[in-house]
Amino acid sequence: MYVEASKYVLLGDNAYAHAQTLLCGTLVLVAVFGRARGMSLFVFHPIFMNFMVMFMTEGLIVYRNTFAYNALHSIMQFDAKTKYRNLHTGMQVVATAFGALGALFIAANKIQNGKSIMPMSIHSILGTLALVGIITQVLVGFRKRHMIRLNEEMGVAVGPTYRWHGKLGLVTYDLCALSMLTGMLSYLPYTLPNLLVMVSRIICHGVEPEPKP
């Protein structure tokens, strides 16, 4: 029942997926600020990483949940396929920018406190793997778009379209989710509200759509 309900929420033509993503992201921010009780270099790390996962979620479901497309297609140029690709690319580029900012702030915080920037904990190892996956996805994604456009212009397949890009995207998304969860487990105290925040984040990642071919 949960899986079927989650598929409707995440993949149906509705606004619930976007509301769920926004709610989860807001809860994480509230929990982080409640724990930090102030601003520091470290606090910007979970903030930006939270925004990264939010935009990554939006970019991941854009092909299957058409709410964002229906809301924005009238102000976009080109045909429907290109609009979907532009929405997906735009969301993932913004997510990558937030991820880069989050990585820079945690590195700056470690340097400021005289700590090594090499990943040592489970959270940092998962986060590093996720960042490697994101960088790979960005490079391959732009290459994929170029090859698809070239194949369409030529009318024949003149090069690969990197169909594994979607599968790797799901793996990278899982790594980001696990990194975020382990980060919350290590940073937030074990109170009922914080545990509810963690559960909400798990639910938000409960169902992943099949990648667009």
pTM for the full predicted model: 0.80
Q: How many CB atoms lie within 10 A of CB 92?
A: 22
pLDDT of residue 205: 55
Q: How confident is the model at residue 9 (pLDDT cuts 50, 70, 90)?
A: very low
Is the pLDDT assigned to residue 2 strictly greater than 90?
Answer: no
pLDDT of residue 203: 60
pLDDT of residue 152: 81
Q: Which amino acid is at 124?
A: S
First to last CA, the chain: 27
Q: How many CB atoms lie within 10 A of CB 155?
A: 7
Q: For residue 153, what is the enclosing H or E element?
A: helix 122-154
pLDDT of residue 136: 95
CB of 170 within 8 A of CB of 208?
yes
Bigger pLDDT: 68 vs 1? 68
